[in-house]
Structures are given as structure tokens and as C-alpha cells.
Amino acid sequence: MKLKIFVLYGGKSPEHEVSLRTAFTVLGSIDRRKHDVYPVYITRDGLWCCEGLLDRRPDRIEDLALQPEARSAAHTLGTVLIRWISEAGGQAVVLPLLHGANGEDGTVQGLCELLGVAYVGNGVLSAAITLDKEVSKRLLKQAGIEQAEYRCIRLEDWRQRAVRLMEEVESEIGFPCYVKPASLGSSIGISRCEDAIQLRQGIETAFQYDSKLVIEEEIDGREIQVAVMGNERPLASLPGEFIHRSRFFDFESKYLDKELVMSVPAAVPPEVTERVRVTALKAYGLHECSGLARVDFFLNKEGRLFLNEINAFPGFTGTSMYPVMWERTDGTAYGELIEKLMDYALTRHADRQAVRHAR
């Protein structure tokens, strides 16, 4: 009997388009001779849509935007659960290709746990803490993993004492600095600030996306990434980096720059490669990760390594850094990588199902 795969994409998130790009590649790569694939689109309003079994590879990204049958999130979610997932029979796994809030933050993972359905990627706890940059930084600090100096600001505190907070950031962090929404990815809502005017503007922009933000000092150095995969005994890939012209690697640089160059493995000494891989695995375990994650670092001119952040579900198109790093580390092809991640999901699910819930 074929494994049934429910591919979730879209979502009520500023990273909606990024998710669709990922889904387009994944849906075209899953071996449908081995699996039954059910695309499940979540609209920007949080409505769930499924038209059943995928009968052919999608031709365009636009074709993935399915039409909901109702205007109630609860109604549409219930329809998908009752009509498709609960009636699936056999072995099933959810593949949540969701980036940012309402998908990468533990919410969908919690739903899968309640339903007793296997799902790819990190669990509820690890998904939540990796997406929240401020909580993640606290864990890293407690573990003694070096990172940039930072400051957290909450919206209510900003409303009460904005002037004083500006002074504290200038004194403690200085310029240039980066202002980031605490729970968002793809560089959305992030600003590089060189003076107080830009800092205020950056804070106001970040608060449009989150009620908590992180302000970090700028580390003058290279951005090094490493892919991690696995459950109890995870593996780390060779590191990679993007060679780009922009000072700030923003959304446009990541997704629209035609001259962006990927360097895998990154041109760093063997000792640095080893430190990157060891530190990535340490951070992966510290955050209780499972399945997959991408760990990002800064490497300055003196050779100091600063952990930037952990991405619980990194970009996953055919040209994204995560799958490319694995292909160039051990030859794992894109379709094979998807199979491995589903195997990790099913193994973890079986282990969790074996846990007793009664005396």
C-alpha cells in the first residue's frame, strides 16, 4: 500500500509566497509511483483547501492556489480532516511546507500531535523556540554558544518608553545594527540601521510583523550555513555560503538577485568546517530539534564564529541551500532527501505512539 502524503503549503504568514515556491518543487519531486500525494493549500486568511489526490505534476506555481469551499477556518479545516485525512487509511504523513507564523511555530505540529498523525520536521517545542529568536538566543547564551550582542524590545514597553529604549540600544548595541521581528524569517521586516533615525524607522517596521523584536549588533564577516538532519543521532552537512553583493542579505537579495552565487562547500579552513558542524549539532540538540534544520553563522575576519539563528524549516526549493548542501556533502539527491525526512518522521511517530498515556 502506498504511503499517503499530505503536503501543507501557503499559510497565514508573510512568507506565503516562499511556501508556494517550496511546494511547487516538492510536489514535482515526490515519487508518485511510491506515494499518494494530497496537496493541502492554506490561504492567507487561514482557510484550508484540498481537492484530493494529485493526478499530475503542477505546471505553474499559480495552480497551487486552490479555492476554499467556505469562509470559515474551522469549517474548511474540518472538511479537510474529515473528507481526506481521516479517510486516508493505511500509513500517512503530513509534510508541512510552511514558513513563519501559523505553520513553522508549533501550531500545525500541535494539530498533528492531537490527530495522532506523523509529520515531517520539528516537534511542537522545537518549532516554537527556533522560530522565536529571543527565546532561542537565551538558550544559546545559557549554553555558552557565542552570538552577536542583542536586545529584545516588546511592543507595550516601546509604547511606554520609546525614547529611553532608543538611548539604551544606542549605548548597548550601537551602530550599525539590525532590527528583526522575533518570529519571522526570509528577512521580512528586517532593517539595517546606521543611525537613530533609521533605528526608529526599523523598529516601527518590525512591529508591523510582530509584538516582540530583537535588535542585534552587526558582525562584520561572512555568513556560513550548515544543514542538519536526523532525530536522536543527527548529521551535519558540509558548510555553504552565498556570495552576494549587498551589505544586507535581505528578501530581494535572497530571492530576486540573478547574480547570487552559492558556494558549497564554503571556502573555509578544515578547522572552521569542523567547528561549524560541531556547533550546529550542539545547537540542534539544545533546541530539541528533529527531522531537519539549517543553522546559520557569522565568521568574522579573526576567525571567531557567531551563531546567528536556527531555521526549523529552511528554504527547500531545488536551488535552496539546504538540499544543495546535502547533495554536495554525500550525494543525496533532492527526491532522496524528501524520502529520508519522511522516514525520520515515521520513526519519531512510532516512538511517540509507544509512550504510555495511562497507568
Q: What is the pLDDT of residues 63-105, one digit of tens each?
A: 999 999 888 999 999 999 999 988 777 799 999 999 888 889 9
Distance (Å, whole) CA 9 – CA 313: 12
209 and 330, same domain (yes or no): no
Residue with the three cell numbers 494539530? 111
Owning domain of residue 176: 149-217
Select from 75, 102, 119 the last residue of a domain: 119
Q: Is residue 57 part of a domain?
A: yes
162 and 105, same domain (yes or no): no
173 and 295, same domain (yes or no): no
Numbered residues of the known binding site for Mg(2+): 296, 309, 311
Q: Are 224 and 298 in contact (CB under 8 A)?
A: yes
201 and 225, same domain (yes or no): no
Q: Is residue 124 part of a domain?
A: no
pLDDT at position 134 over 90: yes
Q: Is residue 86 part of a domain?
A: yes
Choosing from 15, 104, 217, 218, the catalytic residue is 15
Count Cα neighbours of 66 within 13 Å in the Cβ-side half-sphere.
Answer: 24
Q: Is residue 111 part of a domain?
A: yes
Q: Which residues contact 86 (CB under 8 A, 6 or more apart)?
A: none
42 and 65, same domain (yes or no): yes
Select from 202, 217, 232 the last residue of a domain: 217
Select from 182, 199, 217 the last residue of a domain: 217
pLDDT category at 329 given cuts 50, 70, 90 is: very high
Choosing from 186, 191, 237, 290, the catalytic residue is 186
Q: Is residue 129 part of a domain?
A: no
pLDDT at position 288 over 60: yes
194 and 96, same domain (yes or no): no
Distance (Å, whole) CA 285 – CA 288: 5
pLDDT at position 259 over 70: no
Choosing from 126, 136, 237, 320, the catalytic residue is 320
Angle between helices 107-115 and 124-131 (to 10 degrees): 180
pLDDT category at 127 given cuts 50, 70, 90 is: very high
Q: Are 38 and 84 in contact (CB under 8 A)?
A: yes
Give the pLDDT mean for 282-294. Answer: 97
Annotated catalytic, 320?
yes
Q: How many domains does the chain divide into?
A: 3
**In the chain, which ranges are continuous DSSP H helix?**
16-27, 73-80, 107-115, 124-131, 133-142, 155-172, 196-206, 251-255, 270-286, 321-330, 334-353
Residue with the three cell numbers 558556494? 263
Give the pLDDT mean for 41-63. Answer: 94
Numbered residues of the known binding site: 296, 309, 311
